A and B are shown apart, each in its own frame.
Chain A
Amino acid sequence: MNEEKFHRDPEEYAIFKRLNNKQFSKRPNDIYVTRKTNFKAQLERCMKLISSNGNYRDICIHGMGSALQRTINLALQFQLKTNCQLHTAISSIEVTDHLMPLLDDLEPTSDTRWVSTIHITCTLPTILTETK
């Protein structure tokens, strides 16, 4: 790993990180957490999904890489508010780095890395649904 990083000299190569657009599930109750999106807005979105206009009994929160922490944080915050049950699964996903040369006598190459992901399923308690 260290060796790879060594020859990725910013003077020589420009790195383009790309996500393999494997089929991610795109149900309305899937939430993908990014580092850029406002945390409060993400929480709001979760709340909206279980409220009357979304009316979902369970939502899935996905996160990957450096957004793992945020994902867990979001799930916990959501739990605090709704007292839901959390079910966590972890996996890893393959991503591609394209290395485009910046100097004339270099060949372009591409790298693959494995990035860990987390999928948290939040299920609302059944009592709550009955009261509602």
Chain B
Amino acid sequence: MVRLTPEVIEVAPQYLNPVGQYELSLRDLKLPVIENLGATLNQFDTIDLTNNDLRKLDDFPYLPKLKTLYLANNHITRIAENLDKYIPNLDTLILNNNLLQVLTDIDPLATLSKLAHISFARNPIAMLKDYRLYVIHMLPNLRTLDFNRITQKEREAACKIYKSKLNKKTKQKQKNIKTFTPGEELVKPQTPRMTKKVADAIKKAITEAKSLEEINKLTAMLQAGEILNQNNSSSIDQEEHTAVVHIADLAHARAQELHSLLYELGHRQEKHRTALQILPRYMRRRAASYNIKRLPRSLRPLADPKTGTAKKKRPSRRYRRRPRDLLASYTNRQRKIKWLKTHIWHAKRFHMNTLWNYRLAEKSNTKCVRPTYKSLHERCLIHDMSYYGCIELEGDEEEIIKKLTPLFPSSNTNLTPKAKMYLNGQFEGQCLVYKPHTKECLTPISFMWMPSNDKQKRKLWLWCHPASYDTLAQILFSLFNTSLSTTTTTTEEPPVKKQRNDDGDQESVTITLLRDQQQLTRFRLIGPLSMAILKHALHPSMLPNDPIERKTAPFAWWTNEAHSNDKHQQQLHFWNSNIGNTSTLMPNRIISLVVRDPRVFTPIKPKLTIHTKTNIEKLETSPPSSVDLASSPLWIEKYRTHCCENKLATYQINLFRSKTLTTDSKELQLNEEESQIPLILIHHHDLLSPLSQYQQNRNDLGSGWDIILPNEWAQIFWISLIYSGARPIGQKELSLIAHETGEFQFPQEYPDTDAGIAWASKIESEQLTHFSKCPPSKRPNFFINGINSPFRPLWINIVHDWALEYDPTNTMMPSQRFYVLRDRNRLSIETLQQHLHSLVPIRVSIKDHKGVIDNTALIYLPTVDDLKTNKKTIVESRHNDQARIEERKMKKAKQTYKRGQTMIKLIEQRTNNNEQAIIHDCDRKILGAMTSGAFQFSRACCTGKGFIATGGLLTLLQQQQKKKTTKKEFQRVLVRTTTSQYYHWASLEF
């Protein structure tokens, strides 16, 4: 039951029909009553009301344009009088399949003088005797009836039959006319009498009518009045009678109509967002959306943004990005996901991605795989690694060392902060942190002590990857008994200075999360030219020679007792002497420096390449570790904030530059206002990293310099370094470099850490969603190759299966968690046998062999036959497609399933199933998997890094020792990618 509201009319289809008339289609709407047709605004020639529930043909407004009405398939029983007043030009009327019962029902149509075509087919009257003749008789202007032409014969027949009646009728009519013309006037006083009585009631009903019952009552009353009326006016004939009855219905319908109108008035505002939407669709013009003069005058005030509700135009991008607003929006946007200080620079040149709650540069917009390798090999790359967080521990040296001990179990070969080498602060150390009292690895960290002689007040900086920063901070808080309640607020409140001193004035350790204060920035320069670039970009500040002048010099604020002038002179001397030759410098040596504002020197044009043409006359040996090069004002917060606060803004520098007369002068004379920035430089070298390569493969590839500087200066130094010719890289290029140098990257290639597990599941879900979006025919079928978990290696299953396989008597399951044996120097068969539930990191290369390695490749154990017959290609036999089998089963059981989703379901199930054995899934036993694999430029072959289970490694060693090929020092394994059925030979390296 739908009411014919203006909305309905508005949304109804309207079109130019084949006859060339504008048609409004109101088909199939179950309309009970015709109403509100005024909303059509007399625009249509044709109204199609087919297939509705109309009972009565009435209630038309004045529609002079209307020519055709389609009313087929309704329940019309009655036709209203006086239709000629409202639709005088009606030409065609289709009333097929309605319920007109009596021939006299159609009498009211006689007034429509222009009616030429009519159809009553499938009405009860169509079955009656003489129906056709009667209609012809009643409607003399008719040309077709029921789609048949009316012939002259029929007209004559009709004339014949109804002649007498006609005569009577005409007489009656004449009588009627005679009596009626005054009769109308006679009736009129009657009706006002009645309406006067009822008028108030009707008005009341209209105003008060809230339910249908009331209206019904009203109708009943009216009808009662009518009957009385009828009795009074017995002279009125049938036609007159029906007219009276209709008034009641009319009142009823009007009440409803008004009701709906009132309703509409109340809700109009909400339904239409703009003034233009108030107009019916056909009156809308696109231009009216911005030019209000194209709207009807009545709607203009509504459409005017000043007076009406219309929305104002969105301000231009330039206006929205006014400096003030831009800054506000930047701060707003970095509330949840942090930005580095060089974010804006990167966002213009890199694809950004959200990783570890930071917005980081993912990959460069330019094509740069080979250029990156070339720069790594011959020039210099730069990476902003400020997302590495720093934790500062301050306090008594012994206590710090004592409390930190549980983080470093003794099995680790790397030296820990307590080593004498690092204690005086001249070297940066790298080591792995384990969760206290467990074998679970947490994260690799790098650390440095502040050089100081005062044992009571030492500072230790721990640099940690953001993936494990929070965990490490919490562990440290618990180790040093600092209240944990403050750690929860760290994410919200930037100033974090957690100081705890419960036991009075005893020696205590302060932990400061420098990351949350955003105080330090760290850049990494990689490549042989990094020192040359540093020398080009940095200019150490010169102190006056005279000691009195030196004290008063305003830019010598950083000289103090801790960082005296002598040390500065030492550092300066070192910097100026032989630092261009980095090879003589000890790896991980720390050098600090106070430099001048780089903007003073930054050239206008960036320099693309720098060549070290400076000949080194005499090779100076690098100073021994006893020489203090590392002490820096950067360690002290006072100086850090000082140099950040006294920074000259770039526009001020530019003002100075514009005022200088000569443009070619190399440096800007800022004199006393020039800032001095303390830096710490670290000669980073992967020689000491926890998972460095085997000794004979080591070289300088991937070494370079790290710079630590106060964060406010990050952008300035970054640009200066870029202008000096360093090539910026993002995360993707960083992993490419890690692949070239053979380093294991945290968290991607640390599968035993929490961060590594989180990373693996993130990658898996990403790939699985991508996989599920592909149509089944456009994606690889891993099941056919016998691979059940293609997106994530099931380390736990592999480790436990091999532990059982190697030593079936050993049934104990120590823990669900496996661990990685990173203790490379002590790898021997005996130690391996003690650590059956572990993984061993390995490197694999397929030099002189066919095949490729990618990130998902799996490592398999060759059989003895494989080792004998070298040349034969080894192919995995075709497996059953489990997904297809499953789908067939479901089809048989008549269950509903989505094609292609079964595979994803099975993969997910397999990934979560820790119990099921995996190593016997394929023809060859699976040893382990790759974490990264690609073509390595420096070795000109495909290589990969990965892990294999210790049990598998032992089996492999036993098997190949028996063979004793002697000539080859490498163990051989089989490698297969997830999408392939071919195994390829590869050699195993450690």
Interface residues of A (CB under 8 A from B): 14, 16, 18-23, 94, 96, 98, 100-110, 112
Supply 10 A–B pairs (Cβ within 8 Å), ascending by A.
Answer: A18-B584, A20-B619, A23-B615, A23-B616, A98-B586, A100-B421, A106-B420, A107-B420, A110-B621, A110-B622
Binary per-residue interface labels of chain B (688-709) against chain A in the complex, 1 for a CB within 8 Å, 0 otherwise: 1000000100101000000000
Q: How far is the CB of B802 from chain A (nearest CB, A)?
A: 31
Residues on A with C-beta less than 8 A from B416 are: 104
Say yes or no: A20-B427 contact (C-beta < 8 A), given A101-B415, A102-B413: no
Whether A22 lies near B421 (C-beta < 8 A) is no
Among residues of B, the one whose C-beta sits closest to the C-beta of A93 is B619
Residues on B with C-beta less than 8 A from A103 are: 419
Residues on B with C-beta less than 8 A from A19 are: 583
6 pairs of A and B residues whose beta carbons are closest in the complex: A104-B419, A21-B583, A18-B583, A105-B420, A96-B584, A108-B421
Q: For the complex, give the distance between the alpha carbons of A103 and B320 in Å.
A: 61
Q: For the complex, give the distance between the alpha carbons of A19 and B703 in Å.
A: 14
Residues on A with C-beta less than 8 A from B420 are: 101, 104-107
B415, B416, B615, B825: which has the most chain A beta carbons within 10 Å?
A: B415
Given A20-B581, A104-B420, A108-B421, 16 new contacts (CB under 8 A): A16-B587, A18-B583, A18-B584, A21-B583, A96-B583, A96-B621, A100-B421, A100-B688, A101-B419, A101-B421, A102-B415, A108-B427, A109-B625, A110-B621, A110-B622, A110-B624
Say yes or no: A110-B583 contact (C-beta < 8 A), given A23-B616, A101-B415: no
Q: How far is the CB of A76 from chain B (nearest CB, A)?
A: 27
B3 beta carbon closer than 8 Å to chain A: no
Whether B582 lies near A21 (C-beta < 8 A) is yes
Residues on A with C-beta less than 8 A from B475 are: none
Q: How far is the CB of A32 from chain B (nearest CB, A)?
A: 14
Whether A98 lies near B581 (C-beta < 8 A) is no
Q: How far is the CB of A8 from chain B (nearest CB, A)?
A: 14
Q: For the complex, give the distance between the alpha carbons of A104 and B612 in Å.
A: 38
Interface residues of B (CB under 8 A from A): 413, 415-416, 418-421, 427, 528, 581-584, 586-587, 612, 615-616, 619, 621-622, 624-625, 687-688, 695, 698, 700, 825
Whether B415 lies near A107 (C-beta < 8 A) is no
Residues on B with C-beta less than 8 A from A104 are: 415-416, 418-420
Q: For the complex, give the distance between the alpha carbons of A80 and B464 in Å.
A: 59
Whether B616 lies near A22 (C-beta < 8 A) is yes
Q: For the complex, give the distance between the alpha carbons of A103 and B624 in Å.
A: 19
Residues on B with C-beta less than 8 A from A20 are: 581, 583-584, 619
Residues on B with C-beta less than 8 A from A105 are: 419-420
Contacting residue for A22 out of B419, B581, B621, B622, CB 8 A: B581
Whether B687 lies near A100 (C-beta < 8 A) is yes
Residues on B with C-beta less than 8 A from A22 are: 581, 616, 619
Q: For the complex, give the distance between the alpha carbons of A35 and B586 in Å.
A: 26
Among residues of B, the one whose C-beta sits closest to the C-beta of A36 is B696
Q: How far is the CB of B416 from chain A (nearest CB, A)?
A: 8
Q: For the complex, give the distance between the alpha carbons of A106 and B695 in Å.
A: 21
Contacting residue for A109 out of B582, B612, B624, CB 8 A: B624
Contacting residue for B421 out of A16, A21, A23, A107, CB 8 A: A107
Whether A106 lies near B586 (C-beta < 8 A) is no
Residues on A with C-beta less than 8 A from B587 are: 16, 98, 100
Among residues of A, the one whose C-beta sits closest to the C-beta of B423 is A104
Q: How far is the CB of B579 from chain A (nearest CB, A)?
A: 13
Whether B415 lies near A16 (C-beta < 8 A) is no
Among residues of A, the one whose C-beta sits closest to the C-beta of B616 is A22
Among residues of B, the one whose C-beta sits closest to the C-beta of A19 is B583
Among residues of B, the one whose C-beta sits closest to the C-beta of A112 is B621
Residues on A with C-beta less than 8 A from B621 are: 96, 110, 112
Q: How far is the CB of A104 from chain B (nearest CB, A)?
A: 4
Contacting residue for B586 out of A14, A110, A112, CB 8 A: A110
Q: How far is the CB of A56 from chain B (nearest CB, A)?
A: 23
Q: How far is the CB of B889 from chain A (nearest CB, A)?
A: 58
A94, A98, A101: which has the most chain B beta carbons within 10 Å?
A: A98
Whether B625 lies near A108 (C-beta < 8 A) is yes
Residues on A with C-beta less than 8 A from B586 are: 98, 108, 110
Residues on A with C-beta less than 8 A from B583 are: 18-21, 96
Say yes or no: A21-B581 contact (C-beta < 8 A), given A16-B687, A16-B698, A100-B587: yes
Residues on A with C-beta less than 8 A from B419 are: 101, 103-105
Q: How far is the CB of B513 from chain A (nearest CB, A)?
A: 28
Residues on A with C-beta less than 8 A from B825 are: 102
Q: How far is the CB of B389 from chain A (nearest CB, A)?
A: 26
Q: How far is the CB of B938 from chain A (nearest CB, A)?
A: 13
Among residues of B, the one whose C-beta sits closest to the C-beta of A23 is B615
Residues on B with C-beta less than 8 A from A102 are: 413, 415, 825
Q: For the complex, give the distance between the alpha carbons of A110 and B625 in Å.
A: 10
Q: How far is the CB of B675 from chain A (nearest CB, A)?
A: 34
Whether A94 lies near B619 (C-beta < 8 A) is yes
